[in-house]
Amino acid sequence: MKSIKETATEERIIQKLQNYPKCSEIAQYLFNDTELQEMQEYANNVSIKRLGYNDHGPVHMRQVASNAIKMLTILHDCNIKTSLETEEIGTFEDSMCSVVIASLMHDLGMMIGRQSHEEMSVILAIPIIDRTLNFIFPDNIPKKVMIKSLALESIIGHMSSHKIHSIEAGILLIADGCDMTKGRARIPMSINKTPKVGDIHKYSANAITRVGIHHGETKPIKIDVEMSSEVGFFQIEEVLLPKVDSSPVKPYIELYAGVKDNEKKQYL
């Protein structure tokens, strides 16, 4: 049974994709894929209950998809082309399809463990990507190859451990980093009470109250982070900023962060 938050996020994603029918078909296909749902749930179980990490399950992957769609749409509104468009081998919708697929599968490797989970995610995602694209584009081999390749680049690059080169993969990298509000830390905070090394990730995430993604003032995308205490700066400086620095999308990003009711720091 899907949670209310999962269902609500799915509805927002479909709404955002209303102008991209094939992307919408892909999203709905994956939302109804029973195996993918179970893999996302199990990845979250391992992440939270076994390893003591934040949410890496179905809600997180859907939120990353929502973030990525919003950022990619802003770039499109600002006439900034994706890599497929620049190379004149695909359309904006093809790029969007790859980002949606990658977002919903990028943390599947947490089923196995944290170490090299991005590489494990690629292995686990391939059969699902293949059957999805065979269903949506049964006779279009070039399109299937393009979308699959970009999705896999995005998945393996989402931890900044593998260098990425496309706008599409760069969007996912930042979209993942932007999902850091206190909701991700709520369950780990409630069930893992014994102090241990690494707790700063939970406490800093718990301090993030809002992450806004908007049209920027001097650059296309503005990321605006609000926190309840200064411990939240750890999330900005140790999690989000390194992802932005590694992303081909960095030139298009403004980044602000600060404690509520105080002046925000501008990082980019």
pLDDT in tens, 178-237: 998 865 545 554 555 555 555 676 788 889 999 999 999 999 999 999 999 999 999 999
Q: What does pTM read for this prediction?
A: 0.92
Sign of the Cα torsion 74, 179, 253, 251 reads negative
Torsion of CA 131, 137, 139, 140, to 10 degrees: -110
Predicted pLDDT of residue 196: 55
pLDDT in tens, 242-262: 999 999 999 999 999 999 999
Q: Return the CATH number at 78.
A: 1.10.1300
d(CA 103, CA 108): 10
Angle at 62 between CA 185 and CA 237, to 5 degrees: 50
pLDDT tops 70 at residue 83: yes
What domain count does the chain have?
Answer: 1
Least confident of 46-55, 97-106, 116-125: 46-55
d(CA 79, CA 62): 26
Domain enclosing residue 194, as ranges? 4-266
For the record, the structure tokens of 224 come out as: 């605006």
d(CA 195, CA 171): 34
Report DSSP letters for 155-211, one per residue: HHTTTSSS----HHHHHHHHHHHH--STHHHHHHHHH--S--TTHHHHHHHHTEEEE
